[in-house]
Homo-oligomer: A and B are copies of this chain.
Amino acid sequence: MRSDARRNQARILAAAREVFAAQGIEAPLAEVARQAGVGIATLFRRFPTREALIAAVFGARMTAYADAVDVALADPDPWRAFCGYIETICAMQAEDRGFTDVLTMTFPGAEALECDRTRAYDGLVTLIRRAQEAGRLRADFVPEDLVLVLMANAGVVTATGDAAPDAWRRVVAYLLQSFRADGAEPLPAPPSPRGIYRAMLRAKRRC
Minimum CB–CB distance for A83 against chain B, Å: 11
Smallest CB-CB separation from A190: which chain B residue? B170
Minimum CB–CB distance for A108 against chain B, Å: 15
Given contacts A160-B151, A183-B182, are A175 and B175 in contact (CB under 8 A)? yes
Cβ-based interface call for A161 (8 A)? yes
Cβ-based interface call for A132 (8 A)? no
- Residue total for A at the interface (Cβ-Cβ under 8 A): 48
| CB <8 Å contact, A204 and B159 | yes
| CB <8 Å contact, A152 and B158 | no
Interface of A (DSSP majority class): helix
Smallest CB-CB separation from A154: which chain B residue? B155
Instruction: Give the distance in Å from the alpha carbon of A170 to the alpha carbon of B154 in the complex.
Output: 17
Minimum CB–CB distance for A201 against chain B, Å: 8
Chain A interface (Cβ < 8 Å from any Cβ of B): 104, 145, 148-149, 151-156, 158-161, 163-164, 166-167, 169-171, 173-175, 177-180, 182-185, 187-192, 195-196, 198-199, 201-202, 204-207
